Amino acid sequence: MITTLRLRATEALTPKAVVLLLVGMFLFSLVLFPSWTVDDAYISLRYARNLAESGQLTWNIGDNPPVEGYTGLLWTLLAAAAFSWHLPALILLKIIGIACTLAMLPLVDLILVELGAGQQRRMVALGLLVVAPWWQVHAASGLETPLFTLLILVCVLLALRRSALLPAACLLCALTRPEGAALAVALAVASWCRGDRRPWPSWLFFGGLGLTYIAWRLNYYGEMLPNTYYAKNSGESSWLHLVAFIAQCIFLPALAWWHSRPQGDALRSVRGLVVAMVTFCVVLLLVYGRSELLMNYSHRFFVPLLPMIIIGMAATWGHVRWSFLIVSYGWICALTLIGNGIWCQNYETMERSEHMPAAAWIADHIPARATLAVVVDAGIVPYQTGLRTIDMGALNDLYLARIRNPQARLNYFFSQKPDVVLLATGDLGIVSAEQFRSALLVDPRWRFGYHLEEEFKGPQHFEYHQQVWVRNP
């Protein structure tokens, strides 16, 4: 009887049933997970609002030349559309992020079907994807990470099916994040090498649209790459972040793979696509590894690669020992999810107890024509105050993104004569910003030119506070 019940339970666990079960698990964990919004999301919202209200896609309306401090054009345009239609832009972006995260599950299953993976391997892969304790963090963070991850999977599925829609998906991927252009090139080369000439009119058409966008960017911003690239590639590297990603995100699949009987021939029929995707992943890891990713939320840059890692391993798995997989990885996921939840809860508490009150105070006491300088959180405060803002974190400043010398930054800061300064205490997480703040606090022009007006502190255990300094008359 027990054997019969097991067989019936196994038969009931169809891929569709597994996907629905995992979707329910994810939604349940999302409800329990702390609600939070990363500060950087408000950068995209500021650009989107400026575009909707003034037609200028720039950080400060009227600045010449404009600056491209956002990293996702498509994401920013979605927010701008929400502003134009008088919809709550941030809520809309969060809904899109959650929907994209959920849509990854059926896409991963379809890709594994195309690769010939059996039902058990597909269920294991979907389970690994859902329990990975990063999706709850990114789904409703307000950034484009879920959309970028989803579009990568769409591109892979269309490439497997040799669809003529692949170039269009690659263009959307490149417009979501600049790194998507590397994926488009890799898949186009793979398509050419395997002798598939049918979609090339489509490649030429959408490639032409991409080149048109690049031409517009050069004409509008005067730069080939976003300003964020220069801000993040002129500081200290983030190899430690890459090592942490490998240790956390690959440890689970590696354990499962090690305790299975690998089937090395599973990906041979799509060798060109595999080479293209591996090249894309390696290029991204090398670029990210040598960059100063600026904050302890930097794993968002690596997480879009996690589904591809799981798919690659699931496609080559043989028999997987379920008991070993559950015991060895379940507690790791649980502990990491709890750690992420605590971090996000503290982050949201900081936003509500420090950034939002500081923004409200500045809006109430500082004239609308004043200039604000932020050291270093350039998200919710510039967004809520709407003041012309100097971003000393360099993401939204053409000059600072290319200059790291503290003295040069000091001279630039005082030449701009900011009327009010939002200064963060504690660990800024950015080496150049730490150096600038240290030099600023001992500079006579600062000591005699500005006075501390207000300080906003979170809970007692927080060492990261927001100070509002005002220029002396």
Cβ atoms of residues 279 and 193 within 8 Å = no
Give mean pLDDT, residues 214-218: 92
Confidence of residue 196 (pLDDT cuts 50, 70, 90): confident
With H, G, I as helix, E, B as strand and everything else as coil, classify residue 330.
helix
Statement: residue 316 has pLDDT above 50: yes
What is the Cα–Cα distance from 196 to 158, expressed in whole angstroms? 13
Determine which helix (DSSP H) or strand (DSSP E) holds 467, and give its type and residue range: strand 466-471
Contact 104, 150 (CB under 8 A): yes
Which pLDDT value is given to residue 10?
46
Average pLDDT of the residues of the chain: 84
User: Residue 148's pLDDT is what?
Assistant: 96
3-state secondary structure of 420: strand
Average pLDDT over residues 126-147: 87
Nearest partner of 299 among 238, 235, 378, 253, judged by Cα: 238
Candidates 243, 447, 290, 466; CA nearest to 372 is 466
What is the 8-class DSSP label of residue 87? -
For residues 304 and 301, give the distance between their C-alpha atoms in angstroms, rounded to a whole number. Answer: 7
Q: What is the pLDDT of residue 457?
A: 92
Give the total residue count for the chain.
473
Statement: residue 355 has pLDDT above 50: yes
Report how far Cα 118 is from the mean position of its chain's Cα atoms.
32
**What are the chain's domains?**
15-320 (no CATH), 346-471 (3.40.190)
Residue in the block written with tokens 């379809």: 110
- Please state whether the predicted TM-score (pTM) of the whole model is above 0.95: no
pLDDT at 292: 63
For CA atoms 307, 69, 457, 444, the dihedral sign is positive
Q: Give the CA-trace dihedral at 192, 197, 203, 204, to 10 degrees.
A: 110
Burial label for 60, CB within 10 Å (0-12, 13-18, 19+), is buried
Nearest to 43 by CA among 411, 295, 410: 295
Compute how many other C-beta atoms are within 10 angstroms of the C-beta atom of residue 186: 23
Residues 6+ apart with CB under 8 A from 260: 317, 318, 319, 320, 321
Residue 8 burial (C-beta neighbours within 10 Å; 0-12, 13-18, 19+): exposed
Distance, CA of 81 to chain centre: 20
Distance between alpha carbon 277 and the CA centroid of its chain, in Å?
A: 19
User: Angle at which helices 145-160 and 306-314 pack, to 10 degrees?
Assistant: 40
Tens-digit pLDDT profile for residues 23-36: 787 888 888 888 89
How many Cβ atoms from other residues are within 10 Å of residue 379's Cβ?
25
Answer whether residue 262 shows pLDDT above 60.
no
* Percent residues over pLDDT 70 in the chain: 83
Dist CA 386 CA 369 (whole Å): 10
Q: Name residue 413's amino acid.
A: F
81-85, 238-242, 288-292, 447-451 — which is least confidently predicted?
Answer: 238-242
d(CA 317, CA 256): 8
Beta bridge partners of 420: 372, 470
Under the banding of pLDDT at 50, 70 and 90, the label for residue 415 is very high
What is the mean pLDDT of the segment spanning 40-46? Answer: 95
Quote the pLDDT of residue 296: 53
> Sheet harboring 371-375: ordered strands across?
388-391, 371-375, 420-424, 466-471, 450-456
3-state secondary structure 74-107: HHHHHHHHHHHCCCCHHHHHHHHHHHHHHHHHHH
pLDDT digits 0-9 by tens, 44-97: 999 999 999 999 999 999 988 999 999 889 999 999 999 999 999 999 999 999
